Every structure is written in C-alpha cells, then in structure tokens.
Structure 1
Amino acid sequence: MNIESIDLNLLVAFDAMMQERNVTRAGQRVGLSQPSMSHALTRLRAVCGDPLFVRVKTGMEPTPFALRIAPSVRAGLSLMRVGLESAVAFDPARSERIFQILLSDLGEVVYLPRLMQHLKDVAPGIGLRVLQLPRENYREALESGDADLAIGFLPGLTTGFYQQRLFSDHHVCMVRADHPRIGWTLNLQQFSEESHIMIEPAGSRYSRVSLHSSTTTLIEQYLEKKGLHRHIALRVPHFTVVPDILQTTDLLVVIPTTVARLMMPRRHIKMLPLPFEVPQFEVKQFWHERSHLDGGTRWLRGVMAELFMERRPACGVPALAAGDQA
C-alpha cells in the first residue's frame, strides 16, 4: 500500500466506521451524507485491496485486515489532532469544540448543572458529550482520545495518567422521612436488619480484587472486612431512580454525602450518619498524558478545578503508581 496515495479524509471515515459500525451514523459523526460516506469507503477499499467492512445481521463488521490497521489509524489521527489543536491558541469564548467526559450518573447529578451554567456564561459555543462506559474501558477511552476527561473515584486509573484531586467525600444512609422503624439515628442492628438498595454502576459489579471499583465496592469491602452484613433487596445500575424508590418503600441506601445533599430538597427522605466509620474517598479528575498540554483540555480541567475543588493544588502530576496523589 502506497501511503502517499491515501486521502487522509478516507482514514477519518474509516475510523468513524470502526466506532459506529453503521454507514449513516459514521457519516453523521464526520459530517458526511450517507452517499458520500459510502463513496469514501469504496475509495478506501480500492486503495487497501480489502472489503474492510462486511454486512452482517447486526450491522457492518470489520474484516481482520480492518481490525489490524484500526489501532494505528486511530493513534495517527489522534496525534495529528492534538498537534493541530496545540498550534492554535484555544479561545473558549469562540470555540465550538465538543469535549467528551466520562461520568457516572451520580457525577451527572453533581457536576452538570453547575458546569453547563458556567459554559453558558463563558463558552457558549462549547459542547459536552457525557459517556457512560464500564470502568474497565475508561483507560482505553482516554488513551484513544474517545474521552478527554474522567471524573470520579477511579482507583483503576494509575500509570500513564495525570490526576488532580477535587474533593473528599464520605458515605451516609438515606431513608424515607416517615420510616416506621428508623428515626433520626441509625444503629448497627437496624442497619443490618433492614433491606437495602445497592447502586452497581455498569462494569463495576462488586469484586474483592477489582481495580475498577466504585464507591459501592468500597462500602462492600469495608463491611466484609468488619464482618458486617446487609440484605440487598434491589440492585440498580443508575442512581436516578433511587429517590423515588426510597419515598415509597422502607428500603435504605448508602450513598456519597455530596449526592445525598442534592437529593434532600423537595424529597420526603432524610439523611442519617452511618453507625460505623467508613474511610473517606477522594474524587479526582483524570486525563491521559497525550492530552496534558492540549490547550482545550487544559482549559476544561481548569474549569472543573475552579468550580469543584476544595483546595486547588498548583497542577496535576503523573500517577506513577497506585495510590499516588495529585
């Protein structure tokens, strides 16, 4: 294959197809109509001497050749994109860039209202795309450039990433305000005897050894270590349904304080201290070293620090080993 004969736009189209596995959606991703996208794939097939994508029942699947070249194409496009972006000073007031952020649904509740109001005031052309992926996929998404930033309690992101602490948080228990057995205090016996809701984010099902743990995993590990047990009546992947369930049942939920405080207004629920001490956890923002000097992501990280950091360090530092702090 003669690299000089390849139009770089064809590689952009190829990368979009690898992500979408659908001609129409891939075209929308890169601003091409369906006929134009099909034409670009026809040209690239001719250059490569391979079908690249074949139609199956579920859509378009890549050939073995396409799977082999996809990582190199993605890395090359990412490198060019970062180089071009860094060559021009980033102006948030005029930019129309779309940033992609990895957040849980808890994170959406905590960060997005305040963040979107800030963007409206200082960067009205900028857009956000929130991604919810299994946590074991966070590394790949940041490395490939599919995500610019990840925010949360993410102990699985260590070597190869920068991290910056935003704030510390701890857990509390929430129940409906008129719970028949629980008043304004909660003892260990009540905690053990009542039934609970557990929030299990996608890809972070409780595991004793998982690095890709959530705050749910942190609680379960602590209870197990102390020989404490609770009955889980309901497991849900998202937080958003929990307030309504609490108001209409006798179930308990253990949840970070930051989120609990947002649930309180206009809700018939109450927040209670846990009857045992659980270590605090740190919420941080993470980014890959490849985007560390990119003007746009530097600006976005600064916005997050300005809006949500308790005490702002000078800058993020590389995470060289598990447990390093920003």
Structure 2
Amino acid sequence: MSPKVDLNLIKVFLAIYETGSVSGAAKRVHLTQPSISYSLSRLRSLLHDPLFHRTRDGMQPTFAADKLYETFRTSLMNIELAIASTREFNPSISQRTFRIALSDLGEVFLLPILMKKFRTLAPNISIEVVPMEVNQVEDWLLKGRIDAAVGNLTFLKGKVNSLPIFEEYYTCLVCANHPRIGKQLTLDQFLNEHHVRVSRTTGHSLVEDILKKLKISRHVSLTIPHFSVLPSIIPDSEVIVCLPSRVAGMFAKNGNTRAMDIPIKLPTFEVGVYWENQLEDTVAQQWLTQTIHRELSTI
C-alpha cells in the first residue's frame, strides 16, 4: 500500500526545493526550523529517499526530489486553486504585502500610477518593489519570491501566466538646445553623435540587438545601469539615448530635453504583467495582477 502523505509535508518539500534552505522554507511556510527538519525527516522515511543533501550552496535535491517536484507542485496547485475558487479577497481590509519586480523605468513611470490606485482600493496593503533582473525574474516567479513582474518580458510567455498591457516603441532623447540636431534627427546624426547605453539587465536591449543585426555601430560614450538618472545627464550634455516613448515624453516635459524619432525602423514591443499562481494566496494574487492590468492599460 502506498504511504499516505500529509499535504503539509508536501508544502514543506516544495518550500525547501524552491528556497534551497531549511531557514528559507521556515520563513515561507511560517514554521520553525526544527519543525521543517522534523517534516523533512518524516518525508525521507515515507519516501525512502534523502530528498536533499546539505551542501555549501544550500539544500541540493536528489534525483528523486527533482522527479517529485513538478508532480507535487502541480497537484498541490490544483488543490489550492479549487479551494481558492471558494474564497474571497477583500482589498479594502487586507494587510498583505505584495512583491512586484519592476525596472527603474517602471518605478519612475508606472509605480506612481499603481500606488495611487492601490491607496484607493487597498489602503492597508504594502508594496515591496524588487529591482528587475531579467536573467532572474523567471526563477523568482516560479519559486514564489515575487507576486508579479511588469515590463518587456515576452521571453516569459508560455512559461508563466501573462497579460499584455500596452504596445510601446523607442524614441531618442536629446538636450533641448543641442547644437547639431534640429527638428529632425537624421541617420548621419544618429550614427555620429555620442550615445548613452543602458544595461541589458533592465530588459531594454531591443535597440542594441537591432543595430547589431543591421551591422550598424555607434559611439557609446557612457554606459549606465539605470534609466532614472537620464534627466540629470541629458540636459547638460550633447549625448543621445534611446528609451521607450512614454518615458521619453515624461522626461521631456521639463523643457530641458526633446523626444525625437529614431531614424531607423524598429519594431514595437509589448509591456505586460507576468505572474505564476502561488499556492498560498491565489485569489489575492489574481486581484493584484488584474488591478495592474486594468490600471496600466489606459496610459
């Protein structure tokens, strides 16, 4: 006869697997570390496998644990979704903390819009913004380390849940009194002027990728990790930077800079909200992602 496994033991297994540590699992499921260790001992006895080996890099799963993970996760998810369908989430009284991954552009442009709506609909919730790392965001979502991610993240489609928010395109931002650029930016000017490049980790690498594909080179005189410093750099310099049109328009409102069309045909890109259903609080997460989608779709 197959052993009967307590669902709470499966939650502990998933927490250890996804956090890579007993302490991380304890925080995830709100138990003490001794309780996690005891639950793991019970699982090992029931399944006749060590499941995890303690290493310098954390708790490493065995071959059996790797095989069990997807089955356990899918099964528990289905159970939680069935239960969630009978629950309600009341944002007006909730004190939940939501973790959202945003690039610095998202923080500057999207976050104020979202916070205004959150303060109206859910005045007691807390928002924790996690700086976007495109090479980490999939793992964060799948392991429940964030509730949602917003940005140009189409590589996540088919891997997690998603909703498109709006289409966007790139423009250039230059100082308002640039001595060599008039009302229109020519291709020669674009190629010969000095440029600012922003790190690919923000998720904004489309311009670089297209230029490389077209075998077009430009002189990059400054590389920075974030977009948010640009309003302090562009007005007093003669450099050019490529950035999303909505943000360029926002920066240009101060009168010190101008947004201009890029003299190279570039495709548009999609900004969306991405999430992975979490076992513990699916209804609250659905409220969050639907609110983000509804509020940002109109900008």
Is 1:18 matched up with 2:17? Answer: yes
Give the Å deviation of 1:310.
3.2
Q: Counterpart of 2:165?
A: 166
Q: Residues 145-172 of structure 1: CA distance to partner in whole angstroms, max 9, x if unpaired?
A: 7766553334435558776443333222
TM-score (norm 2): 0.77
Distance in 1 separating the partners of 2:33 and 2:123: 30
Q: Counterpart of 2:76?
A: 77
Q: Residues 274-308 of structure 1: CA distance to partner in whole angstroms, max 9, x if unpaired?
A: 344544434334567999xx654553344224322
Give the Å deviation of 1:67.
1.6
Distance 1:34 1:289, change over 3 A: closer
Q: Counterpart of 1:87?
A: 86
8 Å CA contact 1:172, 1:257 repeated in 2: yes
Unaligned residue ranges in structure 2 (runs of 5+)? none
Distance 1:113 1:154, change over 3 A: same
8 Å CA contact 2:26, 2:33 repeated in 1: yes
Distance 1:96 1:86, change over 3 A: farther
Is 1:230 matched up with 2:229? Answer: no
Is 1:55 matched up with 2:54? Answer: yes
Distance in 2 separating the partners of 1:229 and 1:252: 14
TM-score (norm 1): 0.72
Q: Of the candidates 189, 197, 205, which is equivalent to residue 216 of structure 1?
A: 205
Distance 1:149 1:59, change over 3 A: closer
Unaligned residue ranges in structure 1 (runs of 5+)? 205-213, 312-326
Q: Residues 209-265 of structure 1: CA distance to partner in whole angstroms, max 9, x if unpaired?
A: xxxxx5532x34544566643233445554345445546764321000222244456
Q: What secondary structure, in the 3-state scheme, does the structure 2 residue paired with 1:283 have?
A: strand
Distance 1:248 1:8, change over 3 A: farther
* Number of equivalences: 296
Is 1:134 matched up with 2:122? Answer: no
1:239-254 equivalences under 5 Å are: 239-244=227-232, 246=234, 250-254=238-242
Q: Counterpart of 2:261?
A: 273
Amino acid at match of 1:307: E
C-alpha RMSD of matched pairs (Å): 3.8
Distance in 1 separating the partners of 2:3 and 2:125: 35
Distance in 2 separating the partners of 1:281 and 1:69: 37
Amino acid at match of 1:86: S
Distance in 2 separating the partners of 1:244 and 1:201: 21
Is 1:256 matched up with 2:244? Answer: yes
Amino acid at match of 1:196: H
Distance 1:58 1:143, change over 3 A: closer
Give the Å deviation of 1:15.
0.9
Is 1:299 matched up with 2:299? Answer: no
Distance in 1 separating the partners of 2:189 and 2:116: 41
Q: What secondary structure, in the 3-state scheme, does the structure 2 residue paired with 1:54 have?
A: strand
Distance 1:188 1:120, change over 3 A: same
8 Å CA contact 1:171, 1:256 repeated in 2: yes
Distance 1:160 1:289, change over 3 A: farther
